[in-house]
Amino acid sequence: MLVQPYTIALRHIRLDLLAIDEALDRLALIDEQQARIVELRFLLTDRTPVLHTGQHLGNYEIISTLGKGGMGQVYLALDTRLGRKVALKLLPFSNALDASHVQRLEQEARTASALNHPNIVTIHEIGEADSIHFMATEYVDGETLRQRMLNTELSIRELAAIAVQIASALRAAHQAGIVHRDIKPENIMLRSDGVVKVLDFGLAKGSGNSDTERGLIMGTTAYMSPEQARGEAVDARTDVWSLAVVIYEMINGRVPFTGETHRQVVNQILHNEPPAFESAVPDELKQIVLKAYLRVEPARSAAR
């Protein structure tokens, strides 16, 4: 009569083992699903919609590829409604899934479209077609300042004309309460007729606003002002600092603050004085660049 308890116990053990097997199967399924999700996220990361010549996106017909900007792929396209060429900026799939990136695209459009200035690129439209978020802007037939500096040595007259036009664009933005926050050679286009266009207001914000509450540092390291590198609130002076860096680079062929890592560059920006000019330039131009640096660092200026 002692067999029955053992039989009942064995039955419970078998049931427990079956439950464990079922639980393991469910875990395996969950792991497989999670792995697939990770794989899909990986496939989507930094993947930009690929468009080909002749393909249409809404009212735009793709002509060729222009390059890749900070937020996505850029194409040369024809606006079939108005018969004009435009630069068509597309968001990567992964960014399009992120509401903040879509908001940044919309922010860039609103910011730049609010500025009516001959040295600021014109925004034509922001939209979505075939699940692709895009922005159509004025097409600037020319080259970036980066390309110009790589291909030729700028004369004092040329770099002064470029600097004056960038400063004019920034002055208009600052009067409208807008800080660009990412002035660098890649965001400056030079037309063949000598007209300068400032691009990419994707990082622009109203003066006095910042992302420091979220601990974000926005911009490109080598061109950051000290307060920008610290993640502090920025105003118009941060663009003045970045312009000074660009002018220094046009003169000397390199940026004033360098390093192998982001941290090293930031450390130089925060603690070092701008290095001496390596090329012979008029004293007036040197004073303009040095004054631009000092305007951003009131404490450093007062110490002198």
- For 114, other C-beta atoms within 10 Å of its C-beta total 15
SS3 120: strand
Q: What sign does the dihedral 274-275-276-282 (CA atoms) show?
A: negative
Other CB atoms within 10 A of residue 48 CB: 18
- Inter-CA distances, 176 with 54, 171, 199, 257, Å: 39, 9, 17, 30
Q: Which are the catalytic amino acids?
A: 182
Amino acid (1-letter code) at residue 47 = R
SS3 content of the chain, % helix, strand, coil (to 5): 50, 20, 35
Which helix (H) or strand (E) segment holds residue 165: the answer is helix 156-175
Tokens representing residue 260 in the block:
């192998």
Tell me the C-alpha distance between 178 and 174, whole Å: 5
What are the E-state strand segments in the chain? 56-57, 60-68, 73-79, 84-90, 123-129, 132-138, 142-144, 178-179, 188-191, 196-198, 205-206
Find, among 215, 146, 203, the residue nearest to 179 by Cα. Answer: 203
Q: What is the DSSP letter of 274?
A: P
